[in-house]
A and B are shown apart, each in its own frame.
Chain A
Amino acid sequence: MSELTLTVMRLGFLAVLWLFVIVAVQVIRSDLFGTRVTQRGARREAARPQQAARQQQQSAPPQQRGQQGGGRQRRNAPSKLVVSEGTLTGTTVALQGQTITLGRAHDSTIVLDDDYASSRHARIYPDRDGQWIVEDLGSTNGTYLDRSRLTTPTPIPLGAPIRIGKTVIELRK
């Protein structure tokens, strides 16, 4: 076997070996899974489930529609909850009449990564009239609406900061 052929095979083998490594790394790159982050500009798709949810609500039993639909027609009703400070800054949750739980527990709607938060810290829910209420769930370090520590379920004014540890959330239109 000539020297040239062997050299070509030697370099060729190294190239193929590295090609395999590179392909494997490419597979890792395309193998991402876990959480998806959607930027606000591309919210069309996110809006669609919201409509679907609304249609579902209309077909829901009449009593429930009366309970939840009432708030929707109010003027100045908030449509989303926005995290404005803390590690989750920028996260929004659409308000669709569901209860939002906050805390370190993994099944919370907003999972707080904060040493000052309890595992089930607070919840935010609409009352019969569609007014959004924040309630402290017996947390250790308390939930603050503006400057005052919550003791009872309290209605949330639009744009008022709710502070839990280092996280601040507010309701927006």
Chain B
Amino acid sequence: MSSTTNTSTHHTSTIGAIGAPSRRNTELALLVFAVVIPVFAYANVGLAINDQVPAGLLGYGLGLGLLAGVAHLAVRKFAPYADPLLLPLATLLNGLGLVVIWRLDQSKLLQSLPNFAPAAPRQLLYTALGIAMFAAVLFFLKDHRVLQRYTYISMFGALVLLMLPLVPGLGANIYGAKIWINIPGLGSLQPGEFAKIVLAVFFAGYLMVKRDALALASRRFMGLYLPRGRDLGPILVVWAISILILVFETDLGTSLLFFGMFVIMLYVATERTSWIVFGLLMSAVGAVGVASFEPHVKSRVDSWLDPMREFTLSRQGVAGHSEQLQQALWAFGSGGTLGTGWGQGHSDLIRFAANSDFILATFGEELGLAGIMAILLIYGLIVERGVRTALAARDPFGKLLAVGLSGAFALQVFVVAGGVMGLIPLTGMTMPFVAYGGSSVLANWALIGILIRISDTARRPAPAPASNPDAEMTQVVRP
């Protein structure tokens, strides 16, 4: 414990403990704020597009408020000492996502597309399911350490979830990526989103046991710690699996997410920088290798390197090219610093996937740089609270799980935002909470639920220590 306080010699200081307060009322106040902002945005969109306050304002506001209230009550009941920020931040993002999806529903251009269906009501339904999932996690998961028992079951569970889209008849190839499964009567599901959480449980449980072997049994070579071959095994297996996902499901994002999450957790568990160097090298080799022979991934890379050429080819009617990325970049550009204002952008030109993969472009155009920075900061704050939870957690499993979940969340935001903004090749992933999609909303609310559970355990004041009976009872009897 490096509780260095004052290094000058003539000052002395004592160190005591401060318990974290419950902060439920702070959370409630922030939550009200987080519901009011999307309602304001919703009214603003209606005024800008139709010159009138949208008819659904009351229902929409009440719906979001009700869901937030239910989530708050669940936290108050089942996790009274949890972090006060996670829930309001996630609620705000979810609310703003609903507004943007509704705003894109109003677009004449998107309404003219062949298989158009209003997405906002369904997203509201998914949000309700997500909140239910959140409450269920808090209710059933009384102690996150229970998950530790299911370390290897989680591994198999995650592998099964990942393989499901490859099962003939169940998997669905939608727009080049095989990451969906069809459930008859219910619609399609993206198992990868849930695999993220299950895999984090496996990594946390595995690394908690193996971290000493990974950290200490190593040889030093050129300033890097090289682990022994047998300890290197698991990381190679995970790497191979992520490459296989990439090859068979042509899903660059999920592959990057899983491998990155493993490297982050490995680094946190062992404190060895060399893992990060290895991880970057291995993912670079894997990505370059796959991109050079897998046509779907290759076309994504080409489109990233020269979006304008892609745009021209698409306009000329060459099959297999898409103007989405260039349109998204133009949307960001036309937004400028302060944006065009709600409902006044033209991000619907992205057409397909404007409200899912490319939803950030609408934020970028209508709220401008100022707005997108705020949105990214809110994501950053969620990650920060996750890492803070990991720091405060007392058990190594909770620490690793919190770091893994917040690391996965951060990576997902990076991969999607980077892809839409043209920083890295575009991948088929969804922006957590804001993008349209049931799997994503459900999985991310479950993720926030687990983080809240860990933070509740971490911040719960320690029970008063039982007075040590030895101190008074034991006496030395001398002859």
Contacts and interface: CB of A to CB of B under 8 A. Distances in A.
A10 B338 contact: yes
A24 B2 contact: no
A7 interface: yes
B475 A82 contact: no
Nearest to A43: B14
Nearest to A106: B1
Interface string A26-47: 0110011111111110010010
Interface string A41-63: 00100100000000000001101
By size class, the interface of chain B is: 35 or more
A9 B11 contact: no
B221 to A, nearest CB: 22
A93 B13 CA distance: 9
Contact of B88 (A24, A37, A84): A24
Nearest to A28: B85
A21 B379 CA distance: 11
Interface string B20-48: 11010010001001100100110010011
A135 interface: no
Interface in B363-382: 367-368, 370-371, 374, 377-378, 381
B4 interface: yes
A44 B76 CA distance: 37
A121 B89 CA distance: 46
Contact of B4 (A20, A87, A93): A87
B392 interface: yes
B472 A82 contact: no
A38 B37 contact: no
B341 A36 contact: no
Contacts of A21: 374, 377-378, 381
A14 B338 contact: yes
Interface in B132-149: none
Interface in A9-25: 9-11, 13-14, 16-18, 20-21, 23-25
A90 B10 CA distance: 7
Nearest to B478: A128
Contact of A35 (B3, B23, B89, B472): B3
Contacts of A33: 18-21, 392, 459
A6 B339 CA distance: 12
A79 to B, nearest CB: 13
Given A7-B341, A64-B472, A20 B381 contact: no
Interface string B51-81: 1000000000000000000000000000000
A118 to B, nearest CB: 16
A60 B472 contact: yes
A133 interface: no
A23 B374 contact: no
Given A34-B392, A63-B475, A14 B339 contact: yes
B18 A34 contact: yes
A15 B162 CA distance: 42
Nearest to B8: A90
B49 to A, nearest CB: 9
Given A6-B341, A9-B44, A9-B341, A90 B17 contact: no
A140 interface: no
A17 B371 contact: yes
B1 A9 contact: no
Nearest to B43: A9
B6 interface: yes
Given A27-B26, A63-B475, A13 B88 contact: no
Which of A9, A20, A91 has the largest count of B CB atoms less than 10 A from its CB? A20
A111 interface: yes
B72 to A, nearest CB: 15
A137 B344 CA distance: 74
Contacts of B15: 35-38, 91
Residue from A16, A23, A31 whose CB has the most chain B CB atoms within 10 Å: A31
B115 interface: no
Nearest to A172: B12
A9 B342 contact: yes
A21 to B, nearest CB: 5
A38 B18 contact: no
A55 B72 CA distance: 46
Contacts of A24: 30, 85, 88-89, 378, 381
A96 to B, nearest CB: 12
Contacts of B185: none
Contacts of A113: 1-2
From B5, B41, B85, B338, residue with most partner A Cβ within 10 Å? B5
A131 interface: no
Given A9-B341, A32-B18, A91 B44 contact: no
A172 B374 CA distance: 54
A88 interface: yes
B371 A14 contact: yes
Contact of B344 (A6, A20, A37): A6
B112 interface: no
A93 B84 CA distance: 35
B85 to A, nearest CB: 6
A88 B4 contact: yes
Given A17-B374, A90-B6, A90-B9, 19 more contacts: A10-B44, A10-B340, A13-B37, A13-B342, A14-B367, A20-B92, A21-B381, A23-B33, A27-B23, A28-B85, A32-B18, A33-B19, A88-B3, A89-B4, A89-B7, A90-B5, A91-B13, A91-B15, A113-B2
Interface of B: 1-9, 11-21, 23, 26, 30, 33-34, 37, 40-41, 44, 47-48, 51, 84-85, 88-89, 92, 338-342, 344, 367-368, 370-371, 374, 377-378, 381, 384-385, 392, 459, 472, 475
11 contacts: A9-B48, A10-B342, A13-B371, A14-B368, A21-B381, A24-B89, A33-B392, A39-B6, A64-B472, A88-B4, A90-B8
- In order of increasing CB-CB distance, the 3 nearest A-B pairs are A10-B341, A33-B20, A111-B1
